[in-house]
């Protein structure tokens, strides 16, 4: 059965397919994930009881390379969501032109309710269940919402034990001493940051006049807020899953990060050294943050935040989607009519998977890059693909998401044509062509 999120994902595919030069058979193939695995993961809890968790891993499409995509630990994980996220990974890898298809995984769990040892047992148990479904040449997981480098390290170790061979290339986003890459930690945010820097040039922005609101203060949200703050942008609103803070003069972002990471509380603070004091700010909800009068809105949390219910009230003229799927299909139309520029998730947050690709290359070659080399290679890809998508948007007079899909579908189409399409196989003199080509 096709759920609501996946239906929305397919609606965007259909919209873009009408513009792209792609064979209808290839579009049809993209509508169906290649394989979906559901597993039960028994975990012995600290109090001695046994708890069974449900997990998924989906391979969406592997025409352009092994499937690639993160693993999410969240109470709202569902097969429908994992399928959609895997689909977006196929499109995302094609947008930035890295040789991967799309995959995704997830476990239904609230990791905040687990002890550290329970979390390790769950992470290893999940890999035990999906080990034959993943591999360095077939499907390569990575971190996603509520999973991190340490969890990737445990998962790599578990997989290596199962196959009896050290296999760092099976998973990316690992800690650096366990084969991780320099620069993978802030890569998702950095990719979005490079997009903003390109927009800054196009729109002649003076950073100190640009007000930014960031929804979600995990990995991506913290790093982007910090990078923009360093460049002089005014980060005026920040939220986490419990709510947000708003301050028209802007926040001292490093202080807010310091307190959040030490106390788990999001507080309006200014710190000098280790001494922090509260500064004046307004408490807001996540919904209010989205509707603030700011210049850039950065959703960096979960999907379905900007919907047909609140889209008309969104004031930000520019939205940078660091989360996957924060805007629904209907909301896109409303914002498009208002002239809002949305840099879509499949481009804006592609920095993460791009550095994952660099990590995988380093693991396979056994030669490790410097941070400078990672930044340089990431910037080159992001700037090139951002500008290409922007030019497609202008030439097709469409929104930037549709432009990114067109670009991705054209890349997918090149691979489809190389394998032979309906047009090729329906020709009568197929054998003659083959023989001629071989002689």
Which position among 15, 68, 92, 104 bears the catalytic label?
104
How many other β-carbons are positioned within 10 Å of the β-carbon of residue 337? 10
How many angstroms separate the Cα of 399 from the Cα of each of 196, 212, 326, 337?
A: 17, 22, 16, 10
11 burial via Cβ count (<10 Å: 0-12, 13-18, 19+): middle
Which of 356, 362, 402, 412 touches ligand GLU (CB under 6 A)? 356
Catalytic status, residue 104: yes
Which of 82, 353, 378, 416 touches ligand GLU (CB under 6 A)? 353
Pick the closer one to ligand GLU by CB: 150 or 398.
150
State how far the Cα of 83 lies from the Cα of 56, in Å rounded to an integer: 9
| 64 lies in the binding site for ligand GLU (CB under 6 A) | no
Q: Is 36 helix (H, G, I), strand (E, B) or coil?
A: strand
3-state helix, strand, coil in the chain (%, to 5): 50, 20, 30
Which of 195, 352, 363, 413 touches ligand GLU (CB under 6 A)? 352
264: left (phi > 0), else alpha (psi -120 to 50), else beta? left
- Written as six digits, the tokens of 353 are 């998977």
Distance in Å, CB of 70 to ligand GLU, minimum: 3
| 181 lies in the binding site for ligand GLU (CB under 6 A) | no
Pick the closer one to ligand GLU by CB: 244 or 352.
352
How many other β-carbons are positioned within 10 Å of the β-carbon of residue 112? 11
How many other β-carbons are positioned within 10 Å of the β-carbon of residue 77? 24
Site for ligand GLU in 117-156 (CB under 6 A): 142, 144
| 59 lies in the binding site for ligand GLU (CB under 6 A) | no
Pick the stretch among 21-29, 64-72, 122-130, 391-399 that binds ligand GLU (CB under 6 A). 64-72
Pick the stretch among 65-73, 227-235, 242-250, 386-394 that binds ligand GLU (CB under 6 A). 65-73
Pick the closer one to ligand GLU by CB: 69 or 299.
69
Pick the closer one to ligand GLU by CB: 251 or 357.
357
Name the site residues for ligand GLU (rule: CB under 6 A): 68-70, 142, 144, 172-173, 324, 349, 352-353, 356
Cite the active site residues.
104
């Amino acid at each position: 059965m096709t759920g609501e999120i996946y239906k929305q994902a397919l609606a965007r595919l259909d919209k873009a397919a009408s513009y792209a030069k792609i064979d209808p058979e290839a579009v049809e193939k993209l509508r169906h994930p290649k394989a979906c695995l559901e597993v039960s993961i028994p975990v012995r809890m600290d109090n001695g009881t046994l708890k069974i968790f449900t997990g998924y891993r989906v391979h969406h499409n592997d025409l352009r390379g092994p499937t690639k995509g993160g693993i999410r630990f969240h109470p709202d994980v569902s097969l429908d969501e994992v399928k959609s996220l895997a689909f977006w990974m196929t499109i995302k890898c094609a947008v930035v032109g890295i040789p991967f298809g799309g995959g995704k995984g997830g476990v239904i769990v609230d990791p905040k309710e687990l002890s550290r040892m329970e979390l390790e047992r769950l992470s290893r148990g999940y890999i035990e269940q999906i080990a034959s479904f993943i591999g360095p040449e077939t499907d390569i997981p990575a971190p996603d919402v509520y999973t991190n480098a340490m969890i990737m390290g445990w998962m790599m170790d578990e997989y290596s034990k199962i196959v009896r061979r050290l296999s760092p290339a099976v998973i990316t986003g690992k800690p650096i001493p366990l084969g991780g890459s320099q620069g993978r930690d802030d890569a998702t945010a950095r990719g979005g940051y490079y997009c903003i820097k390109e927009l800054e040039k196009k729109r002649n922005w003076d950073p100190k006049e640009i007000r930014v609101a960031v929804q979600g203060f995990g990995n991506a949200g913290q790093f982007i807020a910090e990078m923009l703050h360093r460049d002089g942008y005014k980060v005026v609103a920040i939220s986490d899953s419990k709510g947000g803070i708003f301050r028209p003069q802007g926040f001292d972002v490093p202080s807010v990060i310091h307190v959040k990471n030490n106390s788990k509380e999001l507080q309006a603070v200014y710190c000098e050294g280790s001494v922090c004091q509260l500064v004046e700010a307004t408490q807001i909800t996540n919904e209010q943050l989205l509707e603030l009068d700011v210049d850039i809105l950065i959703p960096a949390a979960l999907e379905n935040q900007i919907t047909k219910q609140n889209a008309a009230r969104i004031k930000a003229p520019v939205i940078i989607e660091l989360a996957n799927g924060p805007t629904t299909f209907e909301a896109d139309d409303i914002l498009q009519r208002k002239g809002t520029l949305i840099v879509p998730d499949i481009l804006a947050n592609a920095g993460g998977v791009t550095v994952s690709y660099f990590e995988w290359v380093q693991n396979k070659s056994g030669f490790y890059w410097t941070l400078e080399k990672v930044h340089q290679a990431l910037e080159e890809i992001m700037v090139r693909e951002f500008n290409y998508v922007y030019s497609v948007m202008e030439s097709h007079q469409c929104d930037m998401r549709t432009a990114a899909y067109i670009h991705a579908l054209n890349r997918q189409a090149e691979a489809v044509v190389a394998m032979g399409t309906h047009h090729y196989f329906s020709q009568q003199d197929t054998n003659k062509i083959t023989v001629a080509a071989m002689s």
